[in-house]
Chains A and B, each alone.
Chain A
Amino acid sequence: RKEVEQDPGPFNVPEGATVAFNCTYSNSASQSFFWYRQDCRKEPKLLMSVYSSGNEDGRFTAQLNRASQYISLLIRDSKLSDSATYLCVVGDTGRRALTFGSGTRLQVQP
């Protein structure tokens, strides 16, 4: 079983749509959680951290359910510029390491 699992997609959605990505992780001792964004042929960049209380950044909302070991990302009012691969990332501060999911590809269409 992969440590971090995501649906690879692609998710093809029209502009303005709301889209949700889900992720599960296997290590219950994980201590930090993130969504990274990776554009084609570019490096991954932090989109947002994820907290148990849920957090929002503009059109993006992230949720963490530690009991279910489940992380989600909701994107409202999708823009063409949101087209990218979204990586679910889980951190282990003891090991000083991040574990990346294989990513979910989003394509927003006009």
Chain B
Amino acid sequence: DTAVSQTPKYLVTQMGNDKSIKCEQNLGHDTMYWYKQDSKKFLKIMFSYNNKELIINETVPNRFSPKSPDKAHLNLHINSLELGDSAVYFCASTGEDGGRRQFFGPGTRLTVL
């Protein structure tokens, strides 16, 4: 059973399109995250939700909007995709006091053409 799952695994799209990435965790965790890993492999936090409430919102363009319908799901919607959005996006979750061990999904490799 996959603990943290993401769909799709690969996403290739044209500039200007709108796309969504979905994340689900079956660990019963309260806190979920979105990270972006760029071509230089630097993993940077974008957003964090705790029990459906946004608790971390890093300096991310407004084109990125997270949505958490319930504490097991955290989706990421991206409007007007740009070339610079090409990266691997990882979802993660933790059931501990945040700032402790996180479990990562397999990643979504987004390529904007």
Contact = CB atoms under 8 A, between A and B. Distances in A.
Interface string A35-71: 0001001111110010000000000000000000000
Dominant secondary structure at the A interface: strand
A96 B101 contact: no
A83 B84 CA distance: 29
A50 B50 CA distance: 25
Interface in B80-113: 90, 94, 97-102, 104-107, 109
B90 A43 contact: yes
A85 interface: yes
B43 A34 contact: no
B42 A102 contact: yes
Contacts of B90: 43-44
B56 A87 contact: no
A45 B106 CA distance: 10
A43 B105 CA distance: 7
Chain A interface residue number, banded: 20 to 34
Q: Taking each of A38, A87, A95, A96, which has the highest tally of chain B beta carbons within 10 Å of its own beta carbon?
A: A96
Contacts of B40: 102
Nearest to B58: A97
B68 interface: no
Contacts of A102: 40-42
Q: Taking each of B43, B97, B100, B101, which has the highest tally of chain A beta carbons within 10 Å of its own beta carbon?
A: B43
Contact of A46 (B31, B45, B98, B101): B101
A96 B43 contact: no
Contacts of A85: 41
Interface in A68-84: none
Given A43-B106, A43-B107, A95-B56, A100 B100 contact: no
Interface of A: 31-32, 34, 38, 41-46, 49, 85, 87, 91-100, 102-103
Cβ-closest 9 pairs across A and B:
A96-B98, A93-B99, A91-B99, A43-B104, A100-B43, A92-B99, A93-B97, A102-B42, A32-B100
14 contacts: A31-B99, A32-B100, A41-B107, A43-B90, A43-B104, A43-B105, A44-B90, A45-B104, A46-B101, A91-B100, A96-B55, A96-B56, A98-B45, A98-B99
